[in-house]
Amino acid sequence: MTEFNELSRQFQISDLKEQRADLHFFHASKEHAVAVLTSLKEKYGYTHLVFFTVVDHLEKNEFHLTYMLHNYEKHHDMGVVVKIARENVQMESIHHLWPAAATYQQEIREMYGVEFPGSPGLYENFALEGWEDIPPMRRDFDTKEYSDKTYYPRPGRESHDPREYMKENLYPGEAETW
């Protein structure tokens, strides 16, 4: 992976992983991530920001910010993963590279609470209006508990494992044949 090799001379990047022939991931440090992305865009032709998302690794107590870029000439995708700690999480904005990133950042701020200082419209409502609790997509947010507390669950509702339920009620006696 020439790009990785060249970039690694300048920046703190590591863990190159080939998912497919046309899809690679590597990790970048929080400090160098934007520089790496800039190089990828300006120098190596990864001009398209396919998506930008966050994975909450609660166990490791870190977020994995994943920038997925695409190179139209090589038909190659490059995922840049940035690990950041979950406390007071903040990341540099990349809206100056891709204006569309502002929307991703707005959504991530709302759903995960990751701050992107300077990103336009960061605090405007995205999908939620007036959310007051901790960001709902964080894994330490208990959505069932929240729903029970907030949305008046109808009493008498039963939940079943579909597999077990179907075995017992719909096809009694045939279970062994499965």
Partner 1 sequence: MSDNMNDMDQIQLFNDQGRLLNAGLPDEEKALFCDAAPQVDAPYRGIWEKFLNWARSESLWILGFGTGCGAIELRPLMTSRYDMYQYGVQPRPTPRQAGLFIIGGYASVKTMKRIVRSYEQMQGPKFVLGLGSCTVNGGMYWDSYNTINRLDHYIPVDVYIAGCMPRPEALLAGINELKKLIKEGKGENANKYAENFEWYKRNQKKIIKDWNMPDYNW
CB of 143 to partner 1, least distance (A): 4
- 132 lines the binding site for partner 1 (CB under 8 A): yes
Q: Taking CB under 8 A as the rule, which mask of x and - marks residues 43-62 in contact with partner 1?
A: --------------------
The per-residue b/e assignment along 24-33, b for 16 or more CB within 10 angstroms, e otherwise, is bbbbbebebb
| Residue among 11 and 141 whose Cβ is closer to partner 1 | 141
Tokens of 12: 């703190």
Contact 86, 105 (CB under 8 A): no
CB of 138 to partner 1, least distance (A): 11
Q: Which residues contact 136 (CB under 8 A, 6 or more apart)?
A: 111, 128, 143, 146
Task: Please state, in angstroms and rounded to a whole number, the distance separating the CA atoms of residues 177 and 40.
Answer: 56
| Residue among 121 and 153 whose Cβ is closer to partner 1 | 153
CA gyration radius, the chain? 21
Q: Taking CB under 8 A as the rule, which mask of x and - marks residues 137-156 in contact with partner 1?
A: ----x-xx-xxx-xxxxx--
Where on the chain is the footprint of partner 1 (CB under 8 A)? 125, 127-133, 136, 141, 143-144, 146-148, 150-154, 157
